[in-house]
Amino acid sequence: MADYQEILSMSGVGKTYSEPVLTNINLTLYSGKVLALTGENGAGKSTLSKIIGGLIAPTTGSMTYLGQPYAPASRKEAEKLGIRMVMQELNLLPTLTIAENLFLDRLPNRGGWINRKRLREMAIPVMATVGLQALDPDMLVGELGIGHQQMIEIARNLIGDSRILILDEPTAMLTSREVELLFAQIQQFKQRGVSLIYISHRLDELAQVADEIMVLRDGNMVCTDDIRRYSSEQLVSLMVGRDLDSRFDVSARRQGNPILKVEHFTRGDVLQDISLTLHRGEVLGISGLVGAGRTELMRAIFAADRIDSGQLWVGDPLKAVTLRSPAEAIAHRIALVTEDRKGEGLLLPLSVAANTSLGNSDKISRLSWLDAGREQRLAQKYISRLGIRTSGAQLAVDSLSGGNQQKVLISRWLERSCDVILFDEPTRGIDVGAKRDIYLLLNELTQSGKGVIVVSSDLRELMLICDRIAVLSAGKLVETFTRDGWTQDAILAAAFSGYQHATGSLHNE
Ligand SMILES: Nc1ncnc2c1ncn2[C@@H]1O[C@H](COP(=O)(O)OP(=O)(O)OP(=O)(O)O)[C@@H](O)[C@H]1O
Ligand SMILES: [Mg+2]
């Protein structure tokens, strides 16, 4: 007899759009166990979880849930039965408050009036489950950074009794501290007998959190097994079908003149007197906890947000400039690849080709007529260079998998002639193979004399690709490390330092 109760089983499940994207999936979920689901971008992970979560119907095969046939007609129906999922793309309503988003389908009311006080009281303990008790539950979600939004999305799905919880890339925007909080929650769910599916491209997380592993490749199961039997190298080769060199060489980089200088940037208490210099040929990393001011700094440099005071210098030789808009930043050869691909980056209903060429009209138009042939060739170049998985450049971006959407966003900016490229979470949701392609691309950019700033929640990634790492904590730049002097512990300690100083305790910040 099995130790663990069977919760859901899938037999021969497949999904076909214009082509098959999932084929003959057989899978069993047990109570109190975590199944890690991994595979390259476009392998079918989100499709599989959406089938369980009731968002899409399978083309073939069947499922049983608690011993009964299971074919949910909608996400709502699945949720009623106790199956919840945190989706890869955020689904919050930006114009509602945190508390309203958390309890959207069960707002406390008296005679039709929302009981605001009760709502706040309900929200606070839920926010505490993801360490956000310091935020005001009446804040609008649209005012939160995307990392905090991701935590709200997670918290929302932790409410109530569920039997199955699916987490699709829950940590893509989270730093180590938030990941730990989430893992503590997952342990509690396991103890209550919930069955979990955990999808991530961060392989070290999988080993930490999961009991079993399932690897998908091109919509096929290539392995389902006890995760302890596999090293991360073995998992990588199962995912991509070959061995991948995990080393990455930065020794050929040559630093040149300064190309960007930030002096005393201040904006409320979000950015406090920040100064830094970026050189040609350099990759400068920005580290810090969620909410430390990383994205705000990128947006301020790009003139997407106003600063209260401070001076920007750009060019070679450096010249003092006052930028009033992103358009002016672009005119000064600065590019920003944003972290919020859904909100600010991509036009989801438009094609891959249109999204790649957006803003690059000089390259694809002749006498201001859009040249469709050139647009197509431009898109094709990046489809092959970054391995964007799509059946064609004319396909709408919203039918691409999350990671492949990210690649489209990156390709748009690579096509511009810029001297300074600001990348905010460039490898968010991107598989190991494609991450490597992007790292190699960063090297190419530096070799052509550009300066690059990278914000990443993944500290190991920064330590792999950067020449220096500047650490933000509570809106201040607390320390800048160089390759010869950094350790993971020292960088983390710096990331926490601003908060400990202010309050003596992290959880009361
Ligand atoms: N509505 C759709 N129409 C056509 N093709 C689709 C649609 N939705 C998904 N696909 C395709 O199905 C395949 C699997 O996508 P899925 O989102 O499941 O991948 P994934 O494994 O979650 O990838 P990622 O790691 O990038 O999130 C992709 O090739 C994608 O382009
Ligand atoms: Mg996905």
Residue nearest to atom 25 of ligand 1 (CA): 41
Least confident of 156-160, 188-192, 423-427: 156-160
3-state helix, strand, coil in the chain (%, to 5): 40, 25, 35
pLDDT at residue 506, as a whole number: 43
**Highest averaged pLDDT of the listed ranges 53-67, 337-351, 356-370:** 53-67
**Ligand 1 mutation pick, 46, 48, 239, 351, max ligand atoms within 8 A of CB:** 46
9 compared with 234, residue with greater pLDDT: 9
CB of 149 closer than 6 angstroms to any ligand 1 atom: no
Indicate if the pLDDT at residue 366 is higher than 70: no
Indicate if the pLDDT at residue 2 is higher than 80: no
pLDDT at residue 1, as a whole number: 43
Rg (CA), the chain: 23
Residue nearest to atom 8 of ligand 1 (CA): 399
CB of 47 closer than 6 angstroms to any ligand 1 atom: yes
Indicate if the pLDDT at residue 82 is higher than 60: yes
207 compared with 197, residue with greater pLDDT: 197
CB of 402 closer than 6 angstroms to any ligand 1 atom: yes
The alpha carbon of 341 and the centre of ligand 1 are apart by a number of angstroms equal to 16
Residue nearest to atom 12 of ligand 1 (CA): 21
At 483 the three-state DSSP class reads: helix
What is the per-residue DSSP string for 16-70? ESSSEEEEEEEEEEETT-EEEEEESTTSSHHHHHHHHTTSS--SEEEEEETTEE-
Other Cβ atoms within 10 Å of 42 Cβ, number: 23
pLDDT band (50, 70, 90) for residue 384: confident
**Ligand 1 mutation pick, 89, 399, 407, 437, max ligand atoms within 8 A of CB:** 399
Give CATH 3.40.50.300 domain extents, the chain.
Answer: 6-240, 246-333+417-509
pLDDT band (50, 70, 90) for residue 160: confident
Element (H, E) at 207: helix 203-209
The alpha carbon of 55 and the centre of ligand 1 are apart by a number of angstroms equal to 13
Q: Above pLDDT 90, what percent of the chain?
A: 54
Residue nearest to atom 5 of ligand 1 (CA): 399
pLDDT in tens, 462-499: 999 999 999 999 999 999 999 999 999 999 999 999 88
pLDDT at residue 203, as a whole number: 86
- The whole-number average pLDDT for the span 64-70 is 96
1 compared with 194, residue with greater pLDDT: 194
- The whole-number average pLDDT for the span 341-369 is 69
Architecture of domain 246-333+417-509: 3-Layer(aba) Sandwich (3.40)
- Are 280 and 451 a contacting pair, CB within 8 Å? yes
pLDDT in tens, 245-278: 777 888 888 999 999 999 999 999 999 999 999 9
**Highest averaged pLDDT of the listed ranges 98-112, 166-180, 276-290, 383-397:** 276-290
- The whole-number average pLDDT for the span 302-331 is 95
CB of 41 closer than 6 angstroms to any ligand 1 atom: yes
Indicate if the pLDDT at residue 399 is higher than 80: yes
231 compared with 261, residue with greater pLDDT: 261
pLDDT at residue 17, as a whole number: 92
pLDDT band (50, 70, 90) for residue 416: confident
Residue type, 408: V
CB of 427 closer than 6 angstroms to any ligand 1 atom: no
Q: Above pLDDT 70, what percent of the chain?
A: 94
Indicate if the pLDDT at residue 503 is higher than 50: no
pLDDT at residue 437, as a whole number: 84
pLDDT at residue 239, as a whole number: 84
End-to-end CA distance of the chain: 49
Burial class, 251, CB count within 10 angstroms (exposed 0-12 / middle 13-18 / buried 19+): exposed
- The whole-number average pLDDT for the span 28-50 is 95
The alpha carbon of 313 and the centre of ligand 2 are apart by a number of angstroms equal to 40
Residue nearest to atom 7 of ligand 1 (CA): 399
pLDDT in tens, 430-464: 888 888 888 988 888 899 899 999 999 999 999 99
The alpha carbon of 194 and the centre of ligand 2 are apart by a number of angstroms equal to 22
CB of 37 closer than 6 angstroms to any ligand 1 atom: no
What is the per-residue DSSP string for 309-355? EEEEEETTTTEEE---SHHHHHHTTEEEE-S-IIIII--TTSBHHHH
**Whose atoms come closest to the Cα of 48: which ligand?**
1
The domain made up of 6-240 is a member of CATH 3.40.50.300: yes
Residue nearest to atom 10 of ligand 1 (CA): 399
Task: For the chain, give the mean pLDDT.
Answer: 88
pLDDT at residue 115, as a whole number: 81
Least confident of 154-168, 396-410, 464-478, 492-506: 492-506
Least confident of 128-132, 238-242, 286-290, 463-467: 238-242
